[in-house]
Amino acid sequence: MIAYNATYIQQKFIDYCRINTRSDERSEAVPTTLGQMVLLKTLETELHQLGLTAVSYSDADAYLVGKITSNLKDQTVVPLGFVAHVDTADYPADNVQPIVHPNYDGRDIHYPAAPDRVLSSNAFPALQALIGQTLITGSGDTLLGSDDKAGIAGLLGMAKYLQANPQVPHGDVWLAFGPDEEIGRGAERLIASRFPVEFAYTLDNGQPGDIAYETFNAAAATVTFNGTVVHPGEAYGLMVNAALLASQFIQQLPAGLVPEKSRGYQGFIMVLSNEGNVDKAEVKLIVRSFDTAEYKAMRAHLRREVADLNAQYGAGHVSLTLQEQYRSPGDVIK
Ligand SMILES: [Zn+2]
């Protein structure tokens, strides 16, 4: 039976939650906010204390990495990596006050800093599965930041456990702590040679015990519609109304492929916004699918729709920008 040091992990979690590490999409700095640097420097000290080797931080990618050295004679065992991100999502994160609810009884939780808010298992049935456990919440007016301070505390807990239990056999275990995950800029910056593993797990938001090996393939699309503006009295055969082009485009999207009709593995195209007038209109969409073939087909559908409209109304009336956001590792893992 493995006895983890729950008190240690809980205290680390609370300490990290108190540090404001909200990332900032408008910043070009690396990391985007100073608070993330504060936490990374704190973690650097702790990794040294926990006996990790090859601990290093790079200003270029703002990743802190370190290694729990193998205690095996067999040098051929492949190293394994674990990753957690230090930033929190774009919600208030000043003066976070974690509240510990030991032996949670399943009843509604009221927040001291927001009396009108309640955390209830009516709204969140998953809470029922946590009865009898220790629950930690925010105080009501900030994010707690469990995503991903829980991941960080978990990794430190593992390092402490392996340090205290050298009889537990393990190969090289690399840890990486990175910035700006919530704004989608962390992973792309990581200098891969600093994290020399072939396989790594990311610890992040999810249910206890879950291991996810795939996700959506994801793209964002912006479709721009340029109208031909003519006085309405002279418009016959000449006017092209950008707002109507946008509406026609949306009508021709596959009707069943929307989030409100999709579950499980089904993909979707979601219209995020539709703004415009006679002269100019813009439709923003996201494309999501676990299935790479479906993902490519949906992207091809968007391109075809744009080509069809240009064929109908004249070249240059409609243009498409497709930006790939991320790809599912599922195809590779399979
Ligand atoms: Zn996360």
The answer to whether residue 5 scores a pLDDT higher than 90 is no
pLDDT at 102: 94
Q: Which residue in 24, 46, 61, 87 is the catalytic one? A: 87
pLDDT at 190: 95
Residue burial 61-95, b: 16+ Cβ < 10 Å; e: rest: bbbbbbbbeeeeeeeeeebbbbbbbbbbeeeebee
Q: Is-catalytic flag, 181?
A: yes
* Topology of the domain covering 6-96+142-202: Aminopeptidase (3.40.630)
Question: What is the number of other CB atoms lying within 10 angstroms of the CB of residue 253?
Answer: 19
Which one-letter amino acid corresponds to residue 244? L
The answer to whether residue 3 scores a pLDDT higher than 60 is no
Q: How far apart are CA 47 and CA 45, in angstroms?
A: 6
Residue 32's nearest CA partner among 86, 77, 80 is 86
Q: Is-catalytic flag, 25?
A: no
What's the pLDDT tens digit per position in 86-138?
Answer: 999 989 999 999 999 999 999 999 999 999 999 999 999 989 999 999 999 99
Q: Determine the distance separating the centroid of ligand 1 and the alpha carbon of 278, expressed in angstroms.
A: 41
Average pLDDT over residues 62-66: 98
What's the pLDDT tens digit per position in 253-281?
Answer: 999 999 999 988 899 999 999 999 999 99
**Sheet holding 173-178: strands in order across?**
53-57, 64-68, 173-178, 80-85, 199-202
Q: How far apart are CA 171 and CA 78, in angstroms?
A: 7
Q: Determine the distance separating the centroid of ligand 1 and the alpha carbon of 155, expressed in angstroms.
A: 14
Average pLDDT over residues 242-261: 96
Q: How far apart are CA 272 and CA 286, in angstroms?
A: 7
Q: Determine the distance separating the centroid of ligand 1 and the alpha carbon of 293, expressed in angstroms.
A: 27
Distance between start and end Cα atoms, the chain: 32
Q: Determine the distance separating the centroid of ligand 1 and the alpha carbon of 301, expressed in angstroms.
A: 31
Per domain, the residue ranges of the chain are 6-96+142-202, 217-333
What's the pLDDT tens digit per position in 161-199?
Answer: 999 999 999 999 999 999 999 998 888 899 999 999 999
Give the range among 3-7, 224-228, 299-303, 306-310 with minimum mean pLDDT. 3-7
Give long-range contacts, CB 8 A cutoff, 24+ apart: 48-52: 50/156, 50/159, 50/160, 50/163, 51/159, 51/163, 52/159, 52/175
Give long-range contacts, CB 8 A cutoff, 24+ apart: 293-301: 294/267, 295/217, 295/219, 295/267, 298/254, 298/257, 298/267, 298/269, 299/219, 299/221, 301/253, 301/254, 301/269
Q: How far apart are CA 324 and CA 100, in angstroms?
A: 41
191 CB burial (10 A radius; 0-12, 13-18, 19+): exposed
251 CB burial (10 A radius; 0-12, 13-18, 19+): exposed
Q: Determine the distance separating the centroid of ligand 1 and the alpha carbon of 147, expressed in angstroms.
A: 5
Give the pLDDT band (50/70/90) at residue 325. Answer: confident
Give the CA distances from residue 259 to residues 7, 211, 219, 275, 323, in Å, rounded to whole numbers and listed in that order. Answer: 41, 23, 15, 20, 20
Task: Find the largest Cα–Cα distance for the chain.
Answer: 87
C-beta separation of 215 from 98 below 8 A: no
Name the pTM for this structure: 0.78
Average pLDDT over residues 19-34: 96
Q: In this predicted model, which residue has the larger pLDDT, 3 or 12?
A: 12
Give the range among 168-172, 173-177, 287-291, 322-326 with minimum mean pLDDT. 322-326
Q: Which residue in 180, 181, 291, 294 is the catalytic one? A: 181
For the segment(s) 217-333, the CATH number from 3.30.70.360, 3.30.70.240, 1.10.10.10, 3.40.50.300 is 3.30.70.360
Q: Determine the distance separating the centroid of ligand 1 and the alpha carbon of 139, expressed in angstroms.
A: 20
pLDDT at 1: 39
Q: Determine the distance separating the centroid of ligand 1 and the alpha carbon of 181, expressed in angstroms.
A: 7
pLDDT at 4: 62
